[in-house]
Amino acid sequence: MTENLDFLGQLDPDDPKQASQQIANKLRAAILTRRLEPGDKLPSQPDLAARYGVARETVKRALELLRAERLIVTRQGSGAFVRAQTQRAVELRPHIEASFERPHVTIDFAGFSGETLRDALAEALDKVRVGRLAPETIAVRVLISDMTAPMALPARAETQSDDPAVRERAERITRRAADGIIDQVAELGDLGLIRSTTVEVRMHRASPLFKLYILNGEEVFYGFYPVVERTVSIKGEPMAIYDLMGKDVPLFHYAVTDDDASHGTQFVEASRQWFDSVWSTIAYRYDG
C-alpha cells in the first residue's frame, strides 16, 4: 500500500453528508482509480480515525459501506483489504501463497481433480524449500469424485450417458493430480523442512459440478464447472464427450470478517460445514 496517504484527502466540514459516508466515498474513489490496488491493505481503523479526526466507530461504519458494496474484505486479526477484482483461477495462487505465511496452514479442496491446486501449491512449496516461507505445519484435505463408479459427468456425448472409457480417462487425470499433491507436500516433511505435514484424500460417488477451496478456515474460493462438448482421444480414437472445464473459470472470493452476520463470514462457515459433512459421511479413503 502507498505510504503517502495524501490522496485520501480530508473531510469537508461544509458537506452535508455524514463523516462515515465521506470517508467511504474517498476510499471508494481510491479503489476505483487504482490508487489502492486489488489486494492492497487499507490503513488501519485507528490510522483512519486519526487522519480524519473522527471516532473509530465512524471509520467502522465507512468500511461497512464498502464491504456491502463488495469493494473490500476484512480478515480477522489482519485488517481490511481491497477485494480482488479479477476473480479467475489464476488469482488463487497469491492467496495460497499468502496462506503459507501463517504458522499453521490448512487447505481443503473439493472438486474434480485438483490440478489447479497442485500447480498453485507447487509454487508456494518451492518458496518453503528456499526458506522464503516457513510454516510449522501443513494439513491438506482433498475431496474428489471416484471415477471408477458410474457418473453423469463426464459422459459420452453421443449417448449422453456414462461410459467406462470416458471415466478411465477422467480417473487418470484425478489420480495424477491427487498423487502430485500428496508427493509434493510429503516431500517437505521428509526433508525436515516442516515440522508436520499431512495430506488426506477422500472420494465420493457424486459428479463434480463445482470447485471449492477453503484456506486456513477463513477464506473460500468457489466456482462452477461449465459442461462443454469437446472431442478427445480415448484409446487412440477421437470421441465427443461432455466434459467439465475448470481452468480459467471465475472464482468467487469470500472471507471471514469481524461481523458474524456478514455475507462472507456466513458463506465461509457454510462451506466448512458442507465440506466436513461430506468428508465424515459419504466420503471414503483414496487408495493411491
Distance between CA atoms of residues 276 and 210, nearest Å? 16
Q: What is the mean predicted confidence (pLDDT) over 102-118? A: 93
Please tell me the predicted confidence (pLDDT) of residue 3: 55
CB atoms near residue 133 (< 10 Å) = 19
- DSSP strand pairing (196-204 vs 137-145): parallel
The pTM assigned to this predicted structure is 0.70
Distance between CA atoms of residues 91 and 213, nearest Å? 12
CA 120 to chain centre: 11
Q: What is the pLDDT of residues 115-146, one digit of tens each?
A: 889 988 998 999 899 988 899 999 999 999 99
Average model confidence (pLDDT) across the chain: 88
Assigned CATH topology for domain 6-82 = Arc Repressor Mutant, subunit A (1.10.10)
Task: Name the residue ranges covered by the structural domains of the chain.
Answer: 6-82, 89-285
Report which of 136, 138, 118, 133 is spatially closest to residue 216, judged by C-alpha positions: 138
Instruction: Give 39-43 contacts, CB < 8 A, sequence gap 24+.
Output: 39/81, 39/82, 39/84, 39/94, 40/1, 40/81, 40/82, 41/1, 41/78, 41/79, 41/80, 41/81, 42/1, 42/72, 42/79, 42/80, 42/81, 42/82, 43/1, 43/5, 43/8
User: Is 6-82's fold the same as 89-285's?
Assistant: no
Bridge partners for 177 per DSSP: none
DSSP code of 118? H
Distance between CA atoms of residues 246 and 263, nearest Å? 25
Please tell me the predicted confidence (pLDDT) of residue 86: 38
Q: 79's torsion region: left (phi>0), alpha (psi -120 to 50) or beta?
A: left
Q: What is the mean predicted confidence (pLDDT) over 267-271? A: 94
Q: What is the pLDDT of residues 200-230, one digit of tens each?
A: 999 999 998 999 999 999 889 999 999 999 9
Assigned CATH topology for domain 89-285 = Endonuclease; Chain A (3.30.870)
Q: What is the pLDDT of residues 275-288, one digit of tens each?
A: 999 999 999 999 87
